[in-house]
């Protein structure tokens, strides 16, 4: 128990997490603090670019070996499995459209949670492999496809006037801006390797934590505003948004142990399994499952799961690793 | 001065492509688009976290000759019915005859 508290404290006393609290506090005390809309969008693109590029450089260094392939296979497996079982849990209370949209949200990942977990590992001096970014990139999209298949299987043609257009679905899943930039930066990193890293280092390395910290300040503002929506969401979805990350992280950790992932990679993998998307998936779901209510899938991911993961989840999953790997 | 129709549409940015395509199909080829619009809809939702969720609202304003108003409604209505959003058409006066009246 002591271990758990020290991990939580070590996570909280991290500038990005503290600025997240600062953003939330600004809303709760009704401060007029706001970040002009285009800036967080630019920063989110910067974070995707920087993390993708760094991952590509690391992947170029490590090469593609059996360990990398096993990790990537586990990532794809979880990205496909999570929306399936969460869909059936959600169907207990929700219609198929909302169940599928929320399941897809939880099957996909949050890059910012991943980056916060990387920063937590650096604070603990635990190493992790750069190719985990490739796992992140691979886990962005499959959940969108699985979610759409689930909604089509569970609704009859009379219920929906949906024209199931695969080109449109695939376009949204694999070519939406966030995924495209992340994968593209990863490829540029692989192609340019260490030389490219040296050239871009002042931009991708030195500025990184400053941008992350400022972005999390805005995320705090956004999450606190979305907390108002929790009244509409109800106890079932709030419980789901807290218990599902723990379940997904637990399954992720067991898989990581089974394929003998190093501890740092295991934490990042469990965080990927536990996190929920609020960038790529909402836009795809809005277009492909318009029957679902965005305030349900965005608010659960942003106002409950995201804060839970960056405050309690990351140290909790690290505690699980300490138990399983000792 | 000549009477023309003013079309105003507010929707999620993900639907913008479909809306623009519908306008173009009718021949309403001049329009302005404002991104990052905060609004409160009938569902009571205020979209002010658009930069994070990539679901910013857009505001589309276009002017057309009166005879194009009905076809525009026929094209836009199914999109709004499916995805949500609002559309208003009103009568206004065009001071200089540039595009709308030229097409009459």
Q: By mean pLDDT, which of A291-295, B27-31, B49-53 is the weakest?
A: B49-53
Per-residue pLDDT of chain A (326 residues; tens, 9 = 90+): 455 677 777 788 888 899 999 999 999 999 999 888 778 888 988 998 998 998 899 888 888 888 899 999 999 999 999 999 999 999 999 999 999 999 999 999 998 999 999 988 988 899 998 889 889 988 988 998 998 888 888 876 655 555 666 777 787 778 878 888 988 999 999 999 999 999 999 999 889 999 999 999 998 998 888 887 787 788 999 999 999 999 999 999 999 999 999 999 999 999 999 999 988 788 888 888 888 888 889 889 988 999 999 999 999 999 999 999 88
b/e string for A8-44 if b means 16 or more Cβ within 10 A? Answer: beebeebebbebbbbbbebbeeeeeeebebeebbebb
How distant is the Cα of A293 from the closest Cα of chain B, in angstroms? 10
Interface A-B: count of C-beta contacts within 8 A: 64
Do residues A162 and A288 lie in contact, with contact meaning Cβ atoms separated by under 8 Å?
no
**This prediction's pTM:** 0.85
Nearest to A313 by CA among A133, A109, A117: A117
Of the partner residues A226, A280, A290, the one whose CB lies closest to the CB of residue B49? A226
For position A1, what pLDDT does the model report?
47
What is the distance between the terminal CA atoms of chain A, rounded to a whole angstrom? 16
pLDDT band at residue B42 under the 50/70/90 scheme: low
b/e string for B32-47 if b means 16 or more Cβ within 10 A? Answer: eeeebbeeeeeeebeb
Of the partner residues A37, A219, A294, the one whose CB lies closest to the CB of residue B36? A37
Do residues B57 and B37 lie in contact, with contact meaning Cβ atoms separated by under 8 Å?
yes
Model pLDDT for residues B19-28, shown as the tens digit of each residue:
999 999 999 9
Instruction: Taking each helix axis as running N to C, give the angle between helix A263-274 and helix A132-140, from 0 to 180 degrees, rounded to the nearest 10.
Output: 10
Instruction: Name the closest residue on chain A to residue B83, using Cα atoms.
Output: A290
b/e string for A299-323 if b means 16 or more Cβ within 10 A? Answer: bbbbbbbbbbbbbbbbbbbbbbbee
Is the CB of A227 inside 8 Å of chain B's CB atoms?
A: no
How far is residue A173's CA from residue A283's CA, in Å, rounded to a whole number? Answer: 10
Question: Degrees (nearest 5) of the Cα angle A298, A300, A304?
Answer: 125
Cβ pair B55:A294 closer than 8 A: yes
Do residues A71 and A260 lie in contact, with contact meaning Cβ atoms separated by under 8 Å?
no
For position A78, what pLDDT does the model report?
96
Altogether, the residues listed in chain B come to a count of 104
pLDDT at residue B86 greater than cutoff 50: yes
Cβ pair B45:A295 closer than 8 A: yes
Cβ pair A298:B53 closer than 8 A: yes
Map residue A312 onto helix, strand or coil: helix
Bridge partners of B31, per DSSP, are: B62
Is the CB of B71 inside 8 Å of chain A's CB atoms?
A: no
Residues in chain A closer than 8 A to B36 (CB atoms): 37-38
For position B49, what pLDDT does the model report?
62
What is the phi-psi region of residue A193: left when phi exceeds 0, alpha when psi lies from -120 to 50, beta otherwise? left
CB within 8 Å of A1: residues ≥ 6 apart: none
More confident residue, B93 or B53: B93
User: How is residue A24 written in tokens?
Assistant: 């939330």
Cβ pair B54:A290 closer than 8 A: no
């Amino acid at each position: 128990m002591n271990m758990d508290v020290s991990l939580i404290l070590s996570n909280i006393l991290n500038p990005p997490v503290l600025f997240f609290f600062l953003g939330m506090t600004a809303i709760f005390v009704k401060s007029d603090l706001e970040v002009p809309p285009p800036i967080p969008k630019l920063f989110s693109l910067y974070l995707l670019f920087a993390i993708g590029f760094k991952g590509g450089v690391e992947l170029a260094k490590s090469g593609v070996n059996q360990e990398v392939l096993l990790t990537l296979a586990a990532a794809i497996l979880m990205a496909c499995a999570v929306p399936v079982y969460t869909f059936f849990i959600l169907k207990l209370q929700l219609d198929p459209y909302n169940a599928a949209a929320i399941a897809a949200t939880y099957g996909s990942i949050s890059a910012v949670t991943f980056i916060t977990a990387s920063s937590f590992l650096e604070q603990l001096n635990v190493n992790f492999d750069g190719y985990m970014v490739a796992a992140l990139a691979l886990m962005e999209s499959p959940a969108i496809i699985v979610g759409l298949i689930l909604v089509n299987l569970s609704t009859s043609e009379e219920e929906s006037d949906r024209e199931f257009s695969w080109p449109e679905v695939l376009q949204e899943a694999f070519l939406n801006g966030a995924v495209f930039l992340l994968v593209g930066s990863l490829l540029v990193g692989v192609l340019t390797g260490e030389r490219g890293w040296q050239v871009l280092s002042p931009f991708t390395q030195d500025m990184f934590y400053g941008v992350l910290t400022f972005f999390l300040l805005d995320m705090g503002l956004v999450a606190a505003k979305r907390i108002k929506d929790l009244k509409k969401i109800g106890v079932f979805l709030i419980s789901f948004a807290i218990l599902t990350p723990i379940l997904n992280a637990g399954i992720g950790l067991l898989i990581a142990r089974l394929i003998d992932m190093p501890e740092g990679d295991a934490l990042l993998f469990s965080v990927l399994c536990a996190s929920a998307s609020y960038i790529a998936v909402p836009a795809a779901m809005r277009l492909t499952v318009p029957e679902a209510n965005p305030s349900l899938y965005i608010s659960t991911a942003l106002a409950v799961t995201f804060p839970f993961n960056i405050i309690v989840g990351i140290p909790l999953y690290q505690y699980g690793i300490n138990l399983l790997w000792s | 001065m000549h009477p023309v129709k003013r079309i105003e549409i507010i929707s999620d940015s993900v639907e913008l492509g479909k809306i623009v395509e519908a306008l173009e199909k009718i021949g309403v080829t001049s329009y302005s688009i404002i991104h990052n619009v905060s609004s409160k809809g009938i569902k009571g939702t205020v979209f002010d976290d658009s930069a994070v969720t990539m679901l910013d609202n857009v505001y589309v304003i276009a002017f057309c000759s009166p005879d194009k108003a009905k076809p525009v409604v026929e094209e836009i209505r199914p999109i709004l019915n499916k995805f949500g959003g609002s559309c208003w058409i009103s009568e206004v006066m065009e001071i200089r005859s540039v595009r709308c009246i030229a097409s009459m």
